[in-house]
Amino acid sequence: MVIIAFAPNSKKILPRIFCKNFKHCAVLVRTAGGFRMYQFTSHGHVADIFIRIHDIKILGAYGWRFFYMPRNINANFNPFAAWTCVGMAKRAIGMHAPLIQTPDALYKKLSD
């Protein structure tokens, strides 16, 4: 199972200016003991964080929204090759949509 997590805040300046509702997104992949969160920081740098269900509930209390996808992660997923958090999330689910560049647009596309 793959979960795309959307955050309402970010420390970076450009998402604060250009993004309305969600300013950041991350990829959660199901593992044996919980979830592995890939959080994009900059090109070539991705934080690999182990979290549990309890941690997901805490993130939800801080305004994060989660989109659950009942599929496996893309076989060619390389989180270090992406230029943005949205690019990393699109690579994880195998989406090819060049016009989707913000977390808001990705959330709307997945919700449809």
pLDDT band at 104 (very low <50, low <70, confident <90, very high): very high
Q: What length is written for the chain?
A: 112
Task: Provide the pLDDT for residue 35.
Answer: 94
Nearest one of 64, 100, 57 to 88, comparing CA atoms: 100
Beta bridge partners of 69: 2
Task: Provide the pLDDT for residue 1.
Answer: 86
Q: What is the pLDDT of residues 31-86, one digit of tens each?
A: 998 999 999 998 889 999 999 999 999 999 999 999 999 888 888 889 898 999 99
Is the model's pLDDT at 9 over the cut of 90?
no
Task: Provide the pLDDT for residue 45.
Answer: 93
Per the structure block, which two tokens stand in for 99? 């016009």
> CA-to-CA distance for 8 and 18, rounded, in angstroms?
13
What residue segments make up the domains of the chain, in order of their start?
Answer: 2-111
Task: Provide the pLDDT for residue 112.
Answer: 86
Q: What is the pLDDT of residues 20-39, one digit of tens each?
A: 889 999 999 999 989 999 99
Mean pLDDT, range 10-26, rounded to an integer: 83
